[in-house]
Structure 1
Amino acid sequence: MATALKNLSDYSAAQFIDISEKKFGLVVAEWNRAITDVLSQGAYETLLQHGAKPENVFRNTVPGSFELTLGAQLLAQHEEIDAVICLGVVIKGETKHDDYICHAVAQGLTNVGLKFNKPVIFGLVTTNTEEQAWDRAGGKHGNKGVEAAVTAIQMLGF
């Protein structure tokens, strides 16, 4: 469903499992840092709100969204990490680099999740403009970081 038709921060926690003993890795891209920090805060607060302990949430930064894949793998390889949430922003520019970055990240994170048999969440905001990115970082469309944390919790319930 298109983000314009759904608020990223709306969800039902009715079926959430107990995550008080679960460990989460957050991998956050530094490129577009003002926005990714808001996404990260949204994810972190959502995890705590639903029972995660602060000491069980580990945040690592990588230079840009392309590096989210390796950052995810470095966390996912640790047996004690139950889920990895990857957060970044790719804003379309004058070239097609955004297509290559988004495709590589989507495929790479899928592969990491399958390799380590654990949730690796795609929390990449992909927009045409910076304004659209802010709309998905706590603006009129909610916060993609919240959605990514909720997805991680839901996937741990399988």
Structure 2
Amino acid sequence: MATKLKNLSDHSSKNVADMAKKKFAVIVSEWNEEVTESLYSGAYETLIQNGVKKEHIVKHYVPGSFELSLAAQWLASQKHIDAVICLGCVIQGETKHFDFICDAVAHGITNVSLKYNKPVIFGVLTPNTQQQALDRAGGKHGNKGDEAAITAIKMLGLAEQL
């Protein structure tokens, strides 16, 4: 969580294993594109900086954050994909739509991870405002895309240890 005490782009090097042979699928929501493309840039750069080969990163788009779960299921079911990173942004509005979407996406992504026994990472921002989203997509609070990528890497590292 980003606060003035913690930046989303800061992380420790614990459980960072060799990623040269690992393959990552990154799913990006088209909704709130300014934010989600920045999240992708952060995730991509973090993967590259940690030894993932460019050709081992596949990017796919979905219309909105709600569709991340099904796309994650399709990609997680592929044996050659080691981890899936889901990137989206749902900004609080005037109705309960926000609550339903955020809840469904969080549960959906968790269920896919458990079903396929591989990291499926929740890199979805749920801010109250556009500015809060930008602050967490490469702004003053870092980049949730960085955090999502390093989470995938660390979970793969943990899996190797186990």
TM-score w.r.t. structure 1 length?
A: 0.97
Where does the alignment leave 5 or more consecutive residues of structure 1 unmatched? none
Where does the alignment leave 5 or more consecutive residues of structure 2 unmatched? none
Distance in 1 between residues matched to 2:51 and 2:99, nearest whole Å: 36
Distance in 1 between residues matched to 2:75 and 2:58, nearest whole Å: 9
Q: What SS does the corresponding residue of 1:13 show, helix, strand or coil?
A: coil
Distance in 1 between residues matched to 2:50 and 2:33, nearest whole Å: 26
Q: What corresponds to 1:125 in structure 2? A: 125
Q: What corresponds to 1:94 in structure 2? A: 94
Q: What corresponds to 1:15 in structure 2? A: 15
Q: What corresponds to 1:73 in structure 2? A: 73
Q: What SS does the corresponding residue of 2:126 show, helix, strand or coil?
A: strand
Q: What SS does the corresponding residue of 1:28 show, helix, strand or coil?
A: strand
AA at the equivalent of 1:95: T
Q: Deviations over 1:9-63 (max 9, x none)?
A: 0012253100000000000000000110000010011000000000000000000
Distance in 2 between residues matched to 1:108 and 1:11, nearest whole Å: 26
Q: What corresponds to 1:3 in structure 2? A: 2
Distance in 2 between residues matched to 1:71 and 1:42, nearest whole Å: 20
Q: How much does 1:134 deviate?
A: 0.2
AA at the equivalent of 2:122: F
Question: Does the alignment pair 1:49 with 2:33?
Answer: no
Aligned identity (percent) is 62
AA at the equivalent of 1:72: A
Q: What SS does the corresponding residue of 2:131 show, helix, strand or coil?
A: helix
AA at the equivalent of 1:119: P
Q: What SS does the corresponding residue of 1:84 show, helix, strand or coil?
A: strand
Distance in 1 between residues matched to 2:77 and 2:69, nearest whole Å: 12
Q: What corresponds to 2:152 in structure 1? A: 152
Q: What corresponds to 2:107 in structure 1? A: 107
